[in-house]
Structure 1
Amino acid sequence: MAGGGPSRPLGRGLGTGRAGGAGRLMRPSPVVTHLTAADLRQREPVLPRIARLLRPYRAKIALVLVAVLAAAALQAMVPFLTRAVFDDALFPLDGGAPDLGLLTWLVLGMCAIPIAAALIGIVQMWLTSTVGNSAMADLRGDLFEHLQKMELAFFTATKTGAIQSRLANDVAGVRTVLTDTATTIVQNSVTVTAALVSMIVLSWQLTVLTLFLMPLFIGLQFRVGRARQRLARRTQESLSEMTAITEEALSVSGILLAKVFNRAESEVERYREANRRQTRLQVEQAMTGRTFFAMVQTFFAITPALIYLVAGWIITGNVPVGADTITAGTLVAFTTLQSRLQMPLLQLMRVTLDVQTSMALFRRIFEYLDLEPAITERPGAIALDPDRLRGRVELRGVRFRYPEPRSLSGTVNRDRFGESSVRIEADAEDPRPPGSGWALDDVSLVVEPGQLAAIVGPSGSGKTTATYLVPRFYDVTEGAVLIDGYDVRELTLSSLADAVGMVTQEPYLFHGTIRDNIAYARPGATPEEIVQAARDANIHDRIMGFPEGYETITGERGYRLSGGEKQRLAIARVLLKDPRILILDEATSALDNETERLVQEALERATRSRTTIAIAHRLSTIRSADVIFGLEDGRLVEQGTHDELLAEGGLYKRLYDEQFSRVPAGTPWCDPRRADVPL
């Protein structure tokens, strides 16, 4: 590791970068602007996008249509067989005796048709279920993949529960449309069409009577559909809020917070209120259109009686419109068709309403899919060669302002204090709201390959912000961040992620085994490599002290482990990744002396032969840093070694005196004059 040199002058002249195009300064990144619901509605209509979801399953859909047409054709034959039973077999129109042979064949045909239709229905159900569930899985997978590409600011601006709700509840809400609705529409449309054609063939007069109120019903249906669509969106927004409350309140952190501050009752009431609102919306949605369907069902229920009456008038000649066409068989066949028309027609109306309702859910899903990630890989991006990577990091004239949060219609929920949850927490140590000023203002600094560089400054000075620009969690507003002379915006995201590792102050562990948490950095690592990383992180012996060893379950967010154990597991994970550039966000704060010593030893191994940038809160840990950068109000105000900055008497000296004046001189764990102070 290179030794510390003399203090360098501040300003833009800290390094020139690699010659040529790779090192040129990029134009300032545009600030992400608000994407309104109106912008989204101007995009492609929903139905063509749904059709594209089903495009990979065209062959199966074609088979479904064949099955639907075959079943409809079979069902259309039944009324004519019924008429033949009455007019040709049982009561021949010529007045002859019943024809039992013909009757037998007609009855066999009437029995065979429902059996064949049932077999076709089984095949059709398998095909539609396969197509619908596969399309839904594709939609859910596309949405998850797209969310993985979104920038960090998107997730700091949106509740996790709201995102989970769109993945789970919204996608589940369109399941019926993808699995059953399309088939139901086609099947019932064919059935209704076949029935109407058959009814017209039997008696056009009675058909007119059956359908004379249908235009009124269709108009009412569209009005009901628009109302249910609005309700569906409000219901899903309410469900998103409930999911967010559940995710917050029932997480380990949420439960602990509620118990510490005795807020369990208020959390329960908050959930109950959201639950009551969801119940009201569900009831309102269920009841919308009930009167409409009651009217339709009542009409179809009384229509057969009206048909008998009108048929009597026609037969007696009171209505001179072709009495010779109304026979007993015709009347029985027609009323049979009319009763069979009722169910598919009602189903067609209901499913049309369901489609209108589901359009609101599809729009919510497509709103997320339409969001363009702010951090993208440019065409022709350069892949860093890990074998040639030196690890030189440069911030050149960097100015950065946190972008305004991107919100969507329906995602702006009010939190328990009545404030919008869709906002950006700009920085762990920069709580200023977005747009209020520069988080970093004209910052230029260089970390040479293999150096240990420390960044110090008061809270809110932009320390974490500066480190977040290196792996492109955010893009600079002006200036450039360079690695080995390459602007990070010209690099492939994959090679940049491989080059940079990070250990945060609060490491994240997922609910799984210790082995899986370490191997997350490199899933193909051998057991020996995992164990070696744990040894280097000073955690192997502690792991072997657990009854299950490396198969020990860490618990959600690692809550079954102590803070020091989580830190060392995080260090083991980054050691297994073996990045050339390592960023440390004060990994030793709030640890006891012995644990701090173990973590510091692990960090010393982690920083060997790597370019390391450490955010330092406890200044005793960075005395041997090759270079220390002092940030204040987003500006670089000084740089140099520990001794040089103490001698200058600036920001670092002030922070140093404030920190070590709080305890008596001579206290072993914090006295900077002790040679054995942990680094």
Structure 2
Amino acid sequence: MSVSPSFNDNGETYDQLARTHVSLGRVLALFTPYRTRIVLLIALILVASAIAMLSPFLLRAIIDDALPIRNLALLAWLAGGLVGVAALSAALNTVQVILSSKVGQAIMDDLRVRVYAHLQSLSLGFFASTRTGEIQSRIASDIGGLQALVTNTANELARSLSTVVMTGAAMMFLDWRLGLFSLAAVPLTVLISNRVAKLRETITFEQQRRIADMSSAIQESLSVSGIILARTMGRSEHLIRLFKRTSSDVAALEVRSHTAGEWQWSLIYLTLSILPALTLLLGGWLMSTGAAVTIGTLVAMIALQEQLLWPFEQLLQTGRELRTTRALFTRIFEYLDKPVEITEDLDAVTLARDRVQGTVRLENVSFSYDKSRPTVQAISIDIPAGSHVAIVGATGSGKTTLGYLLARLYDVDSGSIRYDGVDVRRLSFQSLTDILGVVTQEPYLLHASVAENLRFAKPEASDEELITAAKVAQIHDMVSALPDGYATLVGERGYRFSGGEKQRLALARTILRNPPVLLLDEATSALDNRTERAMARALATLARDRTTITIAHRLSTVRQADQIIVLDKGCIAERGTHDELMALNGVYARLIQSAG
């Protein structure tokens, strides 16, 4: 399987993305908050490496000094030194592992929270154009892939590097000729390793992209909605084939990420493996020429080479892993670099909730999703405090978009939206959520109990407050009749409840917050006529002390509104009361007639 260049949604290749988003300084900045512990860790590694260097010299003394003269006392001291070095190295290694694990997990926690918090600040447009599975993959799979780097790899890098440097110095001190010969292979092996690492880096990026595809497929097709769609359409086998294709791609890329350049890597292993034999050959030749090389020196040099072999291989492998993790950092930093479009003003206005009147004014509001064709344009509406305004229109007229703008899920392109005279862009986020309560046509319920879903809006709410809100939303009797009452688990996205029941639970959740302004976006679309009439009466009672903005397709719900705004192709076509609009016999009247 060949790997073609990967492109993101903007047509950028992996190399372009990596150069744009990843730098050594940015990666090192992740470690900066823990520099004290990292310095301590490096100090431990250096001490452990220095202590380990004593073993070959003790071994040479045993062979050249203690054994030839059969000095058991000296042998015992030297052997005891080897045991002490091993014990101290083991103890220091344990401390290193514990400390590096704690630092690594703290960095992972910081990065996960940072990405999650940044995503929470992005506009609705980002989530409308991005698969949920893709987002989950970047937080779970990509950041999870970095775990080895920050917990083990960085520790192994420092330990291996210090061991290689000190072992190289010990070789030169032991015999500079044999030392130079032993280190001559280093440049070649580093060059080969770097070529292999570069190849695997590109494969890793493509691999993570396909893992994200697989995650999205699982999230979409194995949800309740996905299962219902697949079975009712008879497409389960088709989805299995698609998943098998994606899974096979992931498996093939996994193999390539571990085996690409393996023949080149085998040259490194071969070079390091035959080095002791070549060293013995060189040492024997030097001894035959009368050079000052002893058997103990040769044995100690071979021991140093053996001691060098593992950390040097580890160093080369770590270098490869660092290159491949660049692909993961690219995907993570790409998300962190997504611009935050909805920001809180530095001098944001905070309105005291008990003093909010609830007046809303839209002044010449225009907005476009793609900046080419306006979705709504030149919208001006005055909504007095305590009034009920309905916004109606055919599908695609811009009703829901206007609701998004009122909730500041998007910012207007021009014009302004004001609450109690304050531009929504000047309001603090907390003030806006205190002022405006929103119930959408697609209510989202958490996989939790009914009570927990309601308390998501007001964690400190009492049971009595839950019941009061549920009664207003006409859902209390149904919940009370359940075996577990308010402790009933609603299931993922509330699939244990009907569409109308979910809408009423979502409405009760918003009512619990008691907002001065209530925005209902098709909030009763899934209700039967009898329940809708009962809720309309309840909402009428509720709306006496608050401003209500209803976005509706079912026009029967807005006949009693103080003002009805009729949208057509993103513009206000008509406005007035139900009777006034019917008398005009225009757009509104045709909507009523088409509704039957």
Q: Does the 8 A contact of 2:450 with 2:488 survive in 1? A: yes
1:280-679 alignment runs, 5 A limit: 280-317=252-289, 323-402=290-369, 434-660=370-596
Measure the CA separation in 1 of the matches of 2:20 and 2:280.
53
For 1:141, the equivalent position in structure 2 comes to: 113
Task: Give the SS at the match of 1:441.
Answer: strand
Render the CA deviation track for 1:128-158: whole Å, top value 9, x for unaligned.
0000011011000100000000110110011
- Among 106, 125, 131, which residue is 2:103 paired with? 131
Q: 1:493 to 1:221 in 2, by over 3 A?
A: same
- 5+ residue gaps, structure 1, are 1-32, 92-96, 318-322, 403-433, 661-679
Alpha-carbon distance, 1:532 to partner = 1.9
Q: How many Å apart are 1:435 and its aligned residue?
A: 4.2
Structure 1 pair 567–380 and aligned structure 2 pair: CA distance change class (3 A): same
Residue 112 of structure 1, CA deviation: 1.3
Structure 2: distance between partners of 1:580 and 1:295: 74
Aligned twin of 2:144:
172
Is structure 2 residue 235 aligned with structure 1 residue 235?
no
Query: Aligned partner of 1:264: which letter?
Result: S
Out of 36, 55, 60, which is 1:59 matched to? 36
Bigger relative CO (Cα 8 Å, ≥ 6 apart): 1
Contact 2:138/2:331 (8 A) holds in 1: yes
CA contact (8 A) 2:145 2:328 kept: yes
Q: Equivalents in 2 of 1:181, 1:590: separation in Å? A: 54
More helix by share: 2
Equivalent residue of 1:387, what SS?
helix
**Secondary structure of the corresponding residue to residue 189 of structure 2:** helix
| Residue of structure 2 equivalent to 1:81 | 58
CA drift at 1:45: 4.7
Separation in 2 of the partners of 1:553 and 1:642? 42
CA shift, 1:623, in A, is: 1.2
Q: Retained in 1: the 8 A contact 2:21–2:330?
A: no
Distance 1:639 1:337 in 2: 89
Structure 2: which 5+ residue stretches go unaligned? Answer: 1-8
1:14 is matched with none
Moved more, 348-357 or 589-598: 589-598
Q: CA deviation at 1:533?
A: 1.5
Name which of 17, 32, 46 aligns with 1:69: 46
Contact 1:564 1:599 in 2 (8 A): no
User: Shift of residue 436 of structure 1?
Assistant: 4.6
Equivalent residue number for residue 93 of structure 2 = 121
Structure 1's consecutive aligned runs of 4 or more residues displaced over 6 angstroms after TM superposition are 33-40
Deviation at 1:39, TM superposition (A): 8.4
Question: What's the % identity of the aligned pairs?
Answer: 42
**TM-aligned CA deviation for residue 228 of structure 1:** 1.1
Q: How does 1:171-320 map to 2 (within 5 A)?
A: 171-317=143-289
Instruction: Tell me if structure 1 keeps the 8 A contact 2:438–2:510.
Output: yes
Which residue pairs with 2:79 in the alignment? 107
Size of the aligned set, in residue pairs, is 587
State whether residues 68 and 187 of structure 1, in contact with CA within 8 Å, keep that contact through their aligned partners in structure 2: yes
Structure 1 CA distance for aligned equivalents of residues 372 and 242 of structure 2: 32
Equivalent residue number for residue 3 of structure 2: none
- CA positional deviation for 1:162: 0.5
RMSD (CA atoms): 1.7
Q: Which amino acid aligns with 1:655?
A: L
Letter in 2 for 1:102: L
- Report the Cα offset of residue 473 of structure 1: 0.8
Cα deviation for residue 274 of structure 1 reads: 0.6
Q: Structure 1 residues 278, 35: CA separation in 2 closer, same or farther (over 3 Å shift)?
A: closer
Measured in 1, the distance between the counterparts of 2:329 and 2:182 equals 36
Deviation at 1:359, TM superposition (A): 0.9
TM-score for both structures, normalised by structure 2: 0.95
